[in-house]
Structure 1
Amino acid sequence: MSTPNIVILDAQTFHFPDKTPWAPIEKLGHVTIHDRTESAPAVITERCRDAQIVLTNKVPFDRETLAGLPGLKLISMLATGYNVIDIEAATEHGITVCNAPSYGTSCVAQHTVALMLELCNRVGEHAESVRRGDWVRSPDIVYWLQAPRELAGLTIGLIGLGEIGRGVAERLRPFGCEFIAYTPSRRNGPDWPEFSWASSVEEVFERADIVSLHCPQTADNAGFVNATRLSRMKRGSFIVNTARGTLINEHDLAAALRNGPLAGAALDVVAHEPMLPDNPLRTLDNAFITPHLAWASEPSRLRLIEINAANIAAFLSGKPQNVVNG
């Protein structure tokens, strides 16, 4: 392939005040950068009409869009997940799809633990209370909106045990937690006395004090965290999600937070992003939601660009890497 046309569709989250982050990509072809792209097939097709290579994070490529781009040869994901791409259609059209594994493992694992600590200690809520003057007005030297809850002795239920799930467990182990995990393949399980495999997803929900999701979105697991599974959880338990918002039925979760058995939920993702104003979790006092930023440390974003540059270089050399459809 001669010098390719490369189109980046959603670059807004990769701005840095003192860096030119796209330099590794710009060495590989003629680059056109769009901060944001509307998720309409006509808009995407127009922007990618002359592209041989496209980089996307959340801009979707369905069958209709892919059919309108006969010159497209490579889609490289600015993400690990690739559920925004119709993989079957891409394969039919001879389009290679690559992702970026492992770029955000440390960052996402750290954020997951931060969410668990917020559920247990409510640091942000107490800091805001002090800021409002509640401690100034307090007759006592100590007060709490919720007594701190120790992680020591709690059972952490991990659904999915890839690099992030295992990274979460490794960071929590010094707190004295127990761990139970479910994944169909039972790969990469740590050889720890405090770790065990669950025989089913249901067993995780029944035994864990905190359920943490670390599985990809597939056609089979959309909304699998539903009323039936939530009803199996211990009274006073928590759920954490830094994976995909569509894994959870949000109306069922809201009901479990209002009526029990859950004491709280901490989420970095929701089913529709940006969040819709009528999201049933948005105004609940015991739902702690961050705006899909678990992956977004500066080192993590720079690693993501470097992996995409390597994906493009490998493809151009005839030896594609991180291919998810071949």
Structure 2
Amino acid sequence: MPNTAAPRIHLGPGHQTTLADGIARGGGVLASLADAEAVVWAQGPDTFPERLPDTVRWVQLPSAGIEPWLAAGLVDDRRTWTSAAGAYAGNVAEHAVLLLLAGVRGLTEQVRAVSWRKAEFDPRVGTLQGATVAIVGCGGIGRAMIPLLTAFGAEVLAVTRSGTPVPGAAETLPATRTDEVWSRADHFVIAAPATAETAQLVDADTLARMKPTAWVVNIARGTLIDTGALVDALRDHTIGGAALDVTDPEPLPTGHPLWTLPNALITPHIANPATGLPRTLAEHVAANVERFAAGQPLLAVIDPVRGY
């Protein structure tokens, strides 16, 4: 049922103007925690209140990945919890395509070169035209990537939990058929949530089934790839290369082989730069506050059992 008055939203920790404006745009009013119907939280679980009043019916978290919140035991079944899943999709999709293009076009070695090596580099330059790119975990980020990839002439093979057809994808497979994609696609984008089921989804066996020219892009969580197996595959040229915005461990230690392997490209978890987070999150918050006020389903509702 819609609220008869503007919903009372507690914003924490402290006052953040951009998020406060988002709450106001959604039709909410700021309130103390004791008087709140909902909470919008802008930092991590270590700053979260130990106990919420029974009046709080909804909590908005600031990130798409919620593993720390689940590990801290904060996500309960007494109220609705929402993540920021989908809010940052455009930024991350853009970065993922950048990483894939850099790998396929052979930029990893070219940008490190200090001499003219055209004869060596020329045969290594590939293209996305006519390529099949598998997006494993084709949620908001994957869906935002599809028009970018198709604009380059690529075909998308989407993998989702349910297998419900994804608009723009040439084919969609359920997660139970993920094993089929490793030998079918030319390149891979890993965008699945980090759960017990997806831990080390890309392992030695998976890598061995890929084409020797395949590039693997990870913009999800580092734990989805077996780092040791990946290093071996890159050294042995089992695959073409890997472009990672997330790693396991993270931060990636100085001196780790992934920093110097010529067919590896690392960016330090900046697909969604911190400088743009408040503005993007504020849009998501405004939409959810408006839905909360109208009694409509919220965006990015968390299922604690599934882990996202």
TM-score (norm 1): 0.71
Shift of 1:179: 3.2
Alignment of 1:1-326 (within 5 A): 6-8=11-13, 21-24=18-21, 28-29=29-30, 53=39, 55-56=41-42, 59-60=44-45, 68-71=50-53, 73=56, 75-86=59-70, 89-90=73-74, 92=76, 94-123=78-107, 125-129=109-113, 132=114, 134-135=115-116, 142-145=118-121, 147-190=124-167, 194-195=170-171, 197=173, 200-277=177-254, 279-296=256-273, 301-311=278-288, 321-322=298-299, 323-325=301-303
Structure 1: gaps (5+ residues): 15-19, 32-47
Which letter does structure 1 place at the counterpart of 2:121? L
Report SS of the residue matched to 1:212. Answer: strand
Report SS of the residue matched to 2:69. Answer: coil
Give the distance between the partners of 1:126 and 1:216, measured in 2 at CA: 33
Report SS of the residue matched to 1:84. Answer: helix
Report SS of the residue matched to 2:240. Answer: strand
Report SS of the residue matched to 1:165. Answer: helix
Shift of 1:262: 1.1
Deviations 1:208-227 (A, max 9, x none): 11011122122211111111
Name the residue aligned to 1:45.
none
Name the residue aligned to 1:35.
none
Give the distance between the partners of 1:7 and 1:216, measured in 2 at CA: 26
Higher RCO by CA contacts (8 Å cutoff, separation 6 or greater): 2
Name the residue aligned to 1:39.
none
Structure 2: gaps (5+ residues): 1-5
Indicate how the Cα distance of structure 1 residues 7 and 278 shifts in structure 2: closer, same or farther if over 3 A, else same.
Answer: farther
Report SS of the residue matched to 1:145. Answer: helix
Relative to structure 2, which stretch is displaced further, 142-151 or 242-251? 142-151
Relative to structure 2, which stretch is displaced further, 308-317 or 258-267? 308-317
How many correspondences in the alignment? Answer: 289
Give the distance between the partners of 2:87 and 2:302, measured in 1 at CA: 16
Give the distance between the partners of 1:79 and 1:178, measured in 2 at CA: 30
Shift of 1:295: 2.3
Shift of 1:176: 2.7
For the 8 Å contact 1:80–1:99, the answer to whether it is kept is yes
Shift of 1:241: 1.0
Report SS of the residue matched to 2:229. Answer: helix
Which letter does structure 1 place at the counterpart of 2:162? S
Relative to structure 2, which stretch is displaced further, 166-175 or 71-80? 71-80
Give the distance between the partners of 1:246 and 1:103, measured in 2 at CA: 22
For the 8 Å contact 1:158–1:212, the answer to whether it is kept is yes
TM-score (norm 2): 0.75
For the 8 Å contact 1:233–1:262, the answer to whether it is kept is yes
Which letter does structure 2 place at the counterpart of 1:53? V
Relative to structure 2, which stretch is displaced further, 85-94 or 200-209? 85-94
Relative to structure 2, which stretch is displaced further, 82-91 or 146-155? 82-91
For the 8 Å contact 1:90–1:96, the answer to whether it is kept is no
Relative to structure 2, which stretch is displaced further, 75-84 or 257-266? 75-84
For the 8 Å contact 1:161–1:188, the answer to whether it is kept is no
Give the distance between the partners of 1:315 and 1:295, measured in 2 at CA: 26
